[in-house]
Every structure is written in C-alpha cells, then in structure tokens.
Amino acid sequence: QVQLQESGPGLVKPSGTLSLICAVSGGSISSSNWWSWVRQPPRKGLEWIGEINHSGGTNYNPSLKSRVTISVDRSKNQFSLKLSSVTAADTAIYYCARMVVETAVTKGIDSWGQGTLVTVSS
Amino acid sequence: DIVMTQSPLSLPVTPGEPASISCRSSQSLLHPNGYSYLNWYLQRPGQSPQLLIYLASNRASGVPDRFSGSGSGTDLTLKISRVEAEDVGVYYCMQALQIPYTFGQGTKLEIK
C-alpha cells in the first residue's frame, strides 16, 4: 500500500513562496501513475492544483498555472510543490496524492497524504 | 472548466435507511474508451478524502458493498443502501476527464 507524507513550513509570509515536499513510500514514483497536489481552504471544498508523472510531464490548474511549479525527484522517490506570490487566499490544507493510471485509463486518486496546513500571514 | 454540481448539499439520514447523492456535470464525462471519468470520495471529519467509487461505478478496494455508483454522461449518482454511523462526513464527486480536474461542492451526510 503506497503511503504519502507532506512536509514543509506551516507558515509563509504574503508575497513569499510556499514550498512542500511529498515523500512516497511503499511504491515507486517511476510508475504509470500521476502524482497530484490538491488543496482545501479551511471549512471549504477541494481544489486540484496540478500533477506530474515520473518523467516530469506536468498538468496545472489554469487558475494557478502562472504561480505553480511541480517537480519530481526520482532518486528520492518524492515530488514537490512551489506556489509563488502567495496571499491569504492560499491558506489551506495541502494534500499530495496519487492518481492511478492503468492501461491508459485514469482510475481516480486512490491514495492521499494526511495533509499539511499552510497559513499565509505576516 | 467542467463544473460539477452536487445535490443535496446536506443529507440527514436515519441509520439503516438508504441515501442518494446526485452529481451533475456541465459536460459529458464519457471518454471515447466507454468509461465515465467520475469518482466519488468520502472525507470523514478531520481526515483526508478516501476513494469510494472510480469510473462512475467501480468500488475501490475495501469499500463496503452498500456503496454503489451509477449513471453516465452528465448525471451520476452515489447510493448507500443502508447508512451506518461510520458513513458520516462530506461526499465529493470529482471529474477526471479534463484538465483541470474539478470537484463538486460536497454533500454533508449526518445521522439523524
């Protein structure tokens, strides 16, 4: 069973850059799956941020694309998120997750990290 | 973006009774491969979401058979045949057909 664990600062200053890492265990990041970031503002719904595959291919939410960078480190079996020029509206629980892709069929996000709260405040 | 609309947003249910949640999409979720790219998640209080149903009607591993998904195109439904206390939480549908993936607003299920 694959496990994902987010890590990074819980507090970021306005206009700064939010940086998170997701460590993957129990499975290889070099599989056919895609690796996603999803966020959830306090007491609100879920928003998909973007995803990356093992070879570095990425897809981003257009609403965040100008500020988001997702990268992968196969040697460490982890992937990361950077979100620049943050404001209070970026305060949220950030989840890393695995989107299962089998025989070119996308089968949903089946594994989620526990989530990490990032607060944007001075 | 594909807009996902869930109803109802609040669902009080008596234990042992059935429950149903509707999810409507602004565009058909039917892929040329014949699958509807719609997934259902349950987020229990204080927890991460968990996958219940993928590709509209397939139960994820370990999900009780009282959960079922149906529908295709733009009208999808999640049904719980007999609600139990552990089913409390917020249910989300999510489309994975088109980038950006988008979620419904969530349906909060509570026990009467």
pLDDT in tens, B102-111: 999 999 999 9
Q: Give the separation between CA B24 and CA B94, rounded to whole angstroms.
A: 10
Q: Average of pLDDT values for A32-36?
A: 94
Of B50, B60, B106, nearest to A45 by CB-CB distance is: B106
What's the confidence (pLDDT) of residue A31?
A: 86
Would the CB atoms of B99 and A95 count as touching at under 8 Å? no
Closest CA–CA distance from residue A49 to any residue of chain B (Å): 8
Band (B93; pLDDT cuts 50, 70, 90): very high
Angle (nearest 5°) at CA B79 between B78 and B82: 150
Q: Average of pLDDT values for A105-122?
A: 96
CB-CB neighbors (< 8 A) of B5 in chain A: none
The overall average pLDDT reported for chain A is 96
Per-residue pLDDT tens digits for A56-85: 999 999 999 999 999 999 999 999 999 999
Per-residue pLDDT tens digits for B68-83: 999 989 999 999 999 9
For residue A72, the SS3 value is: strand
* CA distances from residue B74 to A18, B24, B36, B112 in whole angstroms, order as listed: 36, 5, 9, 30
What's the confidence (pLDDT) of residue A30?
A: 87
Would the CB atoms of B48 and A105 count as touching at under 8 Å? no
What sign does the dihedral A121-B90-B40-A114 (CA atoms) show? positive
Please name the residue that has the structure tokens 């599989």.
Answer: A31
Q: Average of pLDDT values for A1-23?
A: 97
What's the confidence (pLDDT) of residue B97?
A: 96
What's the confidence (pLDDT) of residue A104?
A: 87
Band (A32; pLDDT cuts 50, 70, 90): confident
